[in-house]
Amino acid sequence: MVYEFEGRTEKEAIDRAAEELGLEKDDFDVEILETQRQGLFKKGYVKIKVHTDHQVAAYAESSRTDRAGEGGENKGTPARGNGDQRGQAVFGDPEAKNDFEQAMIDFVEGLISRMGYGGEVSVLFREEHKIGLKIDSEYSSILIGKKGKNLDALQLLANIYAGKQGREDIRIILDSENYRIRREESLVRLAYTVADRVRENRDSILLEPMNPFDRRLIHTTLNDIADVETKSEGEGLYKQVRVYYRGIR
């Protein structure tokens, strides 16, 4: 299910989502739709979209019905923050610790084998509601694909399989050759470069289509730059982020 919430800051909007849906913050994915920093004549504003497969609190469902906006999405209000309770990743033991972890390793190894590529899969990290798996393969560049789209597709299949194992509460993260970290560093550099161009020319720039995680990174990276704002545009999973000079839409 998909819900929308608003807040004065990203943290307020996420806190509000967790409170109204009755979920932990690791139980849903957050996509930032729009940000606007506080100015002399306007208040700060962040609009997020929440994606979750978990069952939400009963009152949240009724609230969604009563206050549904266009497309059946809940329009939230600023949150009353309760602090970030995200678990810390635990590294160190790459071997499977239980039947579920072994099943996920076997599934991913079998998947890439059926694609015609060899490779070994091990546990990269563990969190309370998240497990990272690392793919070691001489074909890593192919398995990652352009802009990580092949890796994202494999990760999606892994999460579907995890759900079929009755573990919808666990999110699977796939990585290879530290791509996720390298991609994050690259996007941060891109965000600052684009922001400099936008401030210099006082116009807007539309970035390439990105998945929700990459878009959120662009939004949060530029959130503290006073005269630059961001907004997601488009439909579907791969939307585009527009970076624009304040006052220019």
CB-based burial label for 16 (10 Å; 0-12, 13-18, 19+): buried
Q: Which CATH class is domain 2-86+190-245?
A: alpha beta
pLDDT above 70 for 89 = no
* Contact of 46 with 79, CB cutoff 8 Å: no
Q: According to the model, what pLDDT value does residue 36 have?
A: 67
pLDDT above 50 for 224 = yes
**CA pair distance 45, 25, nearest whole angstrom:** 20
CATH 3.30.1370.50 segments of the chain: 2-86+190-245
**Strands in 29-170 per DSSP E:** 29-36, 45-51, 120-127, 130-136
Q: Judging by DSSP bridges, how do beta strands 130-136 and 171-175 pair with one another?
A: parallel
Q: According to the model, what pLDDT value does residue 40 have?
A: 41
Give tens-digit pLDDT for 18-59: 888 888 777 777 877 777 665 444 456 778 888 777 666 543
**CA pair distance 145, 67, nearest whole angstrom:** 41
pLDDT above 80 for 164 = yes
* Contact of 90 with 132, CB cutoff 8 Å: no
Adjacent-strand bridge partners of 242? 206, 231
Q: Which residue has the tokens 């084998």?
A: 113
Backbone angles phi, psi at 182, to 5 degrees: -65, -40
Nearby residues of 26 by Cβ (< 8 Å), 6 or more positions away: 86, 87, 127, 128, 129, 130, 171
Q: According to the model, what pLDDT value does residue 78 have?
A: 33
pLDDT above 80 for 178 = yes
Q: According to the model, what pLDDT value does residue 2 have?
A: 75
Q: What is the pTM of this model?
A: 0.58
Q: According to the model, what pLDDT value does residue 16 have?
A: 85
pLDDT above 50 for 71 = no
Q: Judging by DSSP bridges, how do beta strands 29-36 and 45-51 pair with one another?
A: antiparallel
Which of 10-14, 61-65, 80-84, 231-235 is predicted least confidently?
80-84
CATH of domain 99-177: 3.30.300.20
Q: Which residue has the tokens 């941060």?
A: 188
Give tens-digit pLDDT for 96-105: 889 999 999 9
CATH 3.30.300.20 segments of the chain: 99-177
pLDDT above 50 for 86 = no
